[in-house]
Structure 1
Amino acid sequence: MRKVRFLSIPSLLAACAVVPALLLCSTDGHTQAAAPAAPAAAPAKGPSAEEIGRRVQAFYDSTKTFKATFAQTYTIKVQNVKKESKGTVIFEKPGKMSWSYDAPNGNRVVSDGKVIRVYEKENEQMFETPVKNSQYPAALAFLMGTGQLVKDFNLKLLDAAQMKFEGGYVLEGTPKDATPAYQKVLLYVDAQTNQVRRVLILDAQGNKNRFDFSAPVVNQPVGKGEFDFTPPPGTRVVKP
């Protein structure tokens, strides 16, 4: 059998211009069938958005209470204003939560599962709103035992590297039932623990409400009265 000597790249391309891609040209002008290329290894397939959602839900389903410190960044699009604050948050099932903002802010956000009270220390006023109309419980219901990620959201997996989030996944959740409280929520999930390390809430006006959680503690007793709040005397109470 004649030994085949392959041409240089430019000659090979010219000689085989009209030959099917599966054929190679030998030096005497005859063609020889090329050996089929070995199939490429399939890329490792990661978990789907719904699978990650189920993992997150399973973690929080195992908790009765959740406490963490938080750093909040609230961006008002139309004013191009960014407000930063920090504090401590506590959730207790079913449906209770308490946000305590560090000084000098001093604000409080408290829900007993039915009514949410948002106290603004600087303005000496407090807003009382039914839970169903507030973005806090609506977007974080999976934390408080009043919602399910896969059931309540259409989930989409975003590129964590592009979102500058290392060590986990970024889930985009669009509520299946439209709500005036917000349009989407992004959950930044730790791949090792399945805990949510960051929540980004986006509303219809383009405002962004971001919470970064740290030092989480679960299933610890909560102090009596944590989810009750009475504002200081002289506070103006605003109701819908």
Structure 2
Amino acid sequence: MRKVSLLSIAPFVAAVAVLPAALVLSSDAHAQAKAPAAASKGPSAEEIGKRVQNFYDSTKTFKATFTQTYTIKVQNVKKESKGTVIFEKPGKMSFTYDAPNGNRVVSDGNIIRVYEKENEQMFETPVKGSQYPAALAFLMGKGQLTKDFDLKLLDAAQMKFEGGYVLEGTPREATPAYQKVLLYVDAQTNQVRRVLVLDAQGNRNRFDFSAPVVNQPVTKGEFEFTAPPGTRVIKP
């Protein structure tokens, strides 16, 4: 998939990010929070990972606007898209891309559908057989950050993210979808503001989240999608 590289299955998800997924801190007021103490005196990567996990474990739904920046290294091409993302436990997600993009990424918890408006095609993949990154899976009530990743705390100041923490996650189970994911975590709320997914080819898939809202009712039918007539449906 060329237009939607969200979760390398094809979201976010992200992703990644996801991811994700994910990086300049969003314009959210939390971005102005005071930088945490140096890593040696502050919480460990494992502790931050648990804080993030606990926050999302306590949420039923998550909604935010996003900016996705996908960089293809070999072509030196950067593509930017914007839209809205909604997650609902267990395992549901919906990415709606703003016009003129018009793409959609939807999962009802069983099937992931990736619709590419420009190419008039849609990919359908069973969730069970997909490779969506655990970096975004925790948003959907799937996976555990501290179990799925070896976490490392990076220098937030050097990463130009002084309003929080930057976690580097290396998947404990090798996957062709991505090699590493960076999570940019707000120090005050423990929410992930940005996800950056890195693959073996050096491509970067980044998601910046803003205006997050949790535990709000989701419109009926949000996780259902029927492609327009004439769309070519591709299944594995």
User: TM bucket by the smaller chain?
Assistant: 0.7 to 0.9
Offset, 1:238: 1.3
Structure number with greater Rg is: 1
Residue equivalent to 1:98: 94
On the 8 A contact 2:193/2:208 being kept in 1, the answer is: yes
For 1:132-147, list aligned pairs within 5 A.
Answer: 132=128, 134=130, 136-147=132-143
On the 8 A contact 1:134/1:181 being kept in 2, the answer is: no
- CA displacement, residues 136-188 of structure 1 (integer Å, 9 cap, x when unaligned): 45331111111111011100001111111121000011111111221111000
Structure 1 residues 149 and 88, CA gap change in structure 2 (3 angstroms): same
Residue equivalent to 1:198: 194
Residue equivalent to 2:113: 117
Q: 1:232 aligns with which of 221, 228, 233?
A: 228
Q: What is the DSSP-based 3-state SS (H/G/I as helix, E as strand, rest coil) of the residue aligned with 1:140?
A: helix
Structure 1 unaligned spans of 5+: 1-42
On the 8 A contact 1:197/1:212 being kept in 2, the answer is: yes
Between the aligned partners of 2:58 and 2:66, the Cα distance in structure 1 is: 21
Between the aligned partners of 2:133 and 2:94, the Cα distance in structure 1 is: 11
Establish whether residue 65 from structure 1 lines up as the match of residue 61 from structure 2: yes
State the Cα RMSD in Å. 1.5
Between the aligned partners of 2:190 and 2:215, the Cα distance in structure 1 is: 16
Residue equivalent to 1:7: none
Q: 1:161 aligns with which of 143, 157, 160?
A: 157
Between the aligned partners of 1:136 and 1:102, the Cα distance in structure 2 is: 22
Between the aligned partners of 1:130 and 1:113, the Cα distance in structure 2 is: 9
Identity score, percent: 89
Offset, 1:130: 2.8
Task: Give the TM-score normalised by structure 1.
Answer: 0.79
Range with greater deviation from structure 2 (67-76 or 123-132):
123-132
Q: Which runs of 4+ in 1 moved over 3 A?
A: 132-138
On the 8 A contact 2:106/2:113 being kept in 1, the answer is: yes
Structure 1 residues 137 and 97, CA gap change in structure 2 (3 angstroms): farther
